[in-house]
Amino acid sequence: MEKIGSVKSYSIGFGMAIIFTLAAFLTVTSGWFSQGAAIAIISLLAVVQLIVQLVFFLHLGRDKVKWKASAFYTMLLILILIVGGSLWIMYNLDYNMMSSDAMEQYMLEESKKGF
């Protein structure tokens, strides 16, 4: 039988999940941060929250069995390839197949940014 944790470990996980959710929510709604900083903060909070959930709720890495973690890391590799690859390809496609109007607009915006 796999390990399922205790009331204590579930409560810690739940408490941390609530805190990270509220922190991410405040980061966006308070308007204290610039857009770039806010995106970085909520991405970081989401990653930490995902790790908390995987460890405290899904018990990843706490089992005696090894296949759970290996299946997870295989999935993670495929996931990164799919999401990363799609975004990379689509961004390039978007850039290379711009209409002449859109290109003009794009160059105008880029030139405003200066060097």
Partner 1 sequence: MSQAERAAEAEQTQTKYLGFWIYLMTDCILFASVFATYIVLRENTFGGPGGGELFDMPFVLIQTLLLLTSSFVCGLALLAARARKKAAVIGWLIATFIFGAAFLVLELSEFIKLIGEGHGWQASAFLSSFFTLVGLHGAHIAVGLLWLVVIVWQIMRLGFTAGTTRRLTLFSLFWHFLDVIWICIFTIVYLMGVL
Residues that bind partner 1 (CB under 8 A): 1-2, 4-7, 10-11, 13-14, 17-18, 21-22, 24-25, 27-29, 35, 38-39, 42-43, 45-46, 49-50, 53-54, 57-58, 65, 67-68, 71-72, 74-75, 78-79, 82-83, 86-87, 90
| 92 vs 107, beta carbon nearer partner 1 | 92
Helix or strand run (H / E) with residue 103:
helix 100-113
Q: What sign for the dihedral angle of Cα 95, 101, 107, 112?
A: negative
Backbone angle region of 105, left / alpha / beta, with phi > 0 → left and psi within -120 to 50 → alpha = alpha
| 7 vs 115, beta carbon nearer partner 1 | 7
**Contact assessment for residue 72 and residue 80, using Cβ atoms and an 8 Å cutoff:** no
Q: What is the nearest approach in angstroms of partner 1 to the Cβ of residue 10? A: 4
Q: What is the nearest approach in angstroms of partner 1 to the Cβ of residue 83? A: 5
**Contact assessment for residue 27 and residue 33, using Cβ atoms and an 8 Å cutoff:** yes
